[in-house]
Amino acid sequence: MKCSEFESQITRFFDNQLKTQELVQFLSHVNQCTACKEELSIQYLVEVGIKRLEDGDNFDLNGELVWLLDQADRNVRIAGILKKAFILLCVFLAVIIMVIIIMAVI
């Protein structure tokens, strides 16, 4: 992923609108590119920080961004596990159907 593409997806990341594959690429890039990680932090501080200041809440925006990235990474891993489980279920069902067909022929 190029930095320009990463930057164009930051708002969608904040709004939890990235598809799983986009999220994988986004997280991979942010973990490898210091400049984009800094840009992500700045945009998070601006977008969320202003809202918090208006509300008068106490906040730790850096900690919240780290948590947000961790949650996104967790969601990617869960999606991968679910995909593998679905494939195994399909294979299992195909085997059962084959056994039923063979039993019906015999």
> How do the domains of the chain map onto residue ranges?
3-105
Q: Which residue has the tokens 């961004």?
A: 65
For position 61, what pLDDT does the model report?
79
Which H/E stretch holds residue 33? none
Taking the whole predicted model, whether its pTM rises above 0.85 is answered as no
Per-residue confidence in pLDDT tens, the chain, 106 aa: 899 999 999 999 999 999 999 999 999 999 999 999 999 999 988 888 887 777 766 667 788 889 999 999 999 999 999 999 999 999 999 999 999 998 888 8
| String of DSSP letters for 55-97 | HT----HHHHHHHHHHHHHHHHHHHHHHHHHHHHHHHHHHHHH
For position 57, what pLDDT does the model report?
66
